[in-house]
Structure 1
Amino acid sequence: MIDIKTGENHCQHWDDISSCLVETTIQVISGKWKGIILYHLLDGTKRFNELRRLIPTITHRMLTLQLRELEEHQIVQRKEYSVVPPKVEYSLTAVGETLRPIILEMKQWGEKYQKVMLTKQKMS
């Protein structure tokens, strides 16, 4: 995996390149909030405060940080309008859009997992 900040290849000495590719994916979308942000952007462009309303437990600072990281990885694009008050919109890039099936599969997996866990709780 190439570190976008340093240009260093962290996987050049790994024997299994597949593991490195999984690490790359996890690094780009990992974190408590990125998956949730991406899920909400699947519906289309959102303004910053729209995302805050959709994810009420995220702080302003954390949303800003997560969006910046997604921008750095070219998953999300930020469009700023020169109006008063300032207007900023976020949307998926073409690369970000390729995460759609992964995010939707994660949602489906979560639904199945919750059902299994609820069933186990009821049985105990």
Structure 2
Amino acid sequence: MNVVRDGDVFSAAGFEVAAVGEKHHFSHPDAPPVDNVGFLVDGEVFHPGDALTVIDVPTLLVPGQAPWLTVPDLIRYLRTMRPRRAYAVHDGLINEWGVKVLESVLDAEAERLGTEIRLPKPGESIPL
């Protein structure tokens, strides 16, 4: 096992991966945020983990749902990041009604920001 921290860069499966961020987004009033990094792959795709770290990146894999994530936090993060495209991940805890709500929020933000923001279908491949 290798531990990485903000600023570390390594190769994995032929990709250059940079660790970005330091702490998990606020999740509980009785516990300080734990260590958490995101990963920037080849300078193109950023998975922020649960950190919601802000960087300039073309493609964002945005958390779509989590016990610690509110819709205002999601919207604020998308508006701050302003990626060329964003795809929601981290949605495994929601049922079909929750997916519809998430898709509605993402559609509204995509229209507002003039970019592609959506929840990919299971198994879908997206060329970048």
Q: When the two structures are superposed, what TM-score results if normalisation uses the length of structure 2? A: 0.26
Higher relative contact order (CA 8 A, sep 6+): 1
